[in-house]
Structure 1
């Protein structure tokens, strides 16, 4: 029986991808580098630090990785604070509330930085539902490495066979499966160029899930 649901954030709870895209494109222009749409799509599920490590290697950037991260984060924060049309994804708040009311433990495991996670949680008042929040910036390797989900299960004090992960990216699904956790792939119109073939179940709307459906998922 499932006891813990581990949510990814970006593309699952809220779509901040347009804000990230805007911030990255502004920064790429400042750095005078041309990043292809295919390369950009391959970043999905990676931490900002890992993305800039890769960009530094590919483009021979002279700036320190942490300085690059800081510039992008400031660009994101400015854009985020100015963006009024930012909403939770359709149906996810209802699912979160239903799971919480029925005593299901909820944990966030996101590649986003801690400061970004808290910004989203403050804006949408989500702290009341989640027992823990885990950020990809606290791990040396990003998804598809399983460390973030292993840590989430450890914090939940729940064996992996009694957890599920809800993810929208190829890297996130690979990470969940590498951690030995059942994975629901959320294939929404926000998800671009992602592969759901490794997911145990694929949904396109959160009304396809409920407490009863999740509780009796078998690994």
Structure 2
């Protein structure tokens, strides 16, 4: 019986990808580098640190330190986030979160996003009350598909990992979930552009396909 649901954030709870994309490409322009779409898409699920570490390997002309690159990206993101009015929770996810919480299923967030970004999203949409723990990818040296973030999230569960599930929308996220040995629900939304969810144990196209009763009965 499933007792804990571990949520990714970007692309699952809220779609901040357009804001991230704006910030990254503004910064790419400042750095005078051209990042192909395929390369940018491969960063989905990466932390900002891992993204810039990878970019520095591809573009030797980037002389800035990774920490400086991270701070610039966060400043660009935060400025855009604070002025963006059309930012909403993804359709159906708030109802699912409330249903799970009301029915006593533990909720944990495990997101590659920075703590600052998570805090902005959770404060804006009043989500702190539902989640027992928040885990940020910035605390781990390697991003998804490395399973470390999910292994740690599962260690915070009230139940063994066999009674946990993960909801993910990215190729790297699904790989990380399976690498952690945890049942994975792949969320195939309009935002899952070029993402391969085929390794997920179950794939949904809308959150109305899930509720507390259905999730509690899943066989992990």
Alignment partner, residue 54 of structure 2: 54
Alignment partner, residue 73 of structure 1: 74
Give a deviation string over 1:177-205, Cα, whole Å, max 9, x none.
00000000000011110001100000010
- SS across alignment from 2:25: helix
Give a deviation string over 1:2-25, Cα, whole Å, max 9, x none.
000000000000000000000001
Structure 2 segments unaligned to the other structure (5+ residues): none
Question: Could you say what the CA RMSD is over the residues aligned between the two structures, in angstroms?
Answer: 0.5
Give a deviation string over 1:73-121, Cα, whole Å, max 9, x none.
0000000000000000000000000000000000000000001000000
Q: CA shift at 1:157, angstroms? A: 3.7
Alignment partner, residue 173 of structure 1: 174
Question: Take 1:190 and 1:85, find their aligned partners in 2: how far apart are those partners?
Answer: 15
Structure 1 segments unaligned to the other structure (5+ residues): none
Alignment partner, residue 187 of structure 2: 186
Alignment partner, residue 12 of structure 1: 12
Question: Take 1:189 and 1:13, find their aligned partners in 2: how far apart are those partners?
Answer: 13
Matches for 1:44-193 after TM superposition, within 5 Å:
44-60=44-60, 61-193=62-194
> Does the alignment pair 1:23 with 2:35?
no
- SS across alignment from 1:5: strand
- SS across alignment from 1:172: helix
Q: CA shift at 1:50, angstroms? A: 0.1
Alignment partner, residue 34 of structure 1: 34
The 8 Å contact of residues 106 and 158 in structure 2, kept in 1 or not, is answered as no
Q: CA shift at 1:150, angstroms? A: 0.6
Question: Take 2:192 and 2:80, find their aligned partners in 1: how far apart are those partners?
Answer: 21
Q: CA shift at 1:159, angstroms? A: 1.0
Number of positions where the alignment pairs a residue of Structure 1 with one of Structure 2: 219
Q: CA shift at 1:158, angstroms? A: 2.2
- In the superposition, the TM-score normalised over structure 1's length comes to 0.99
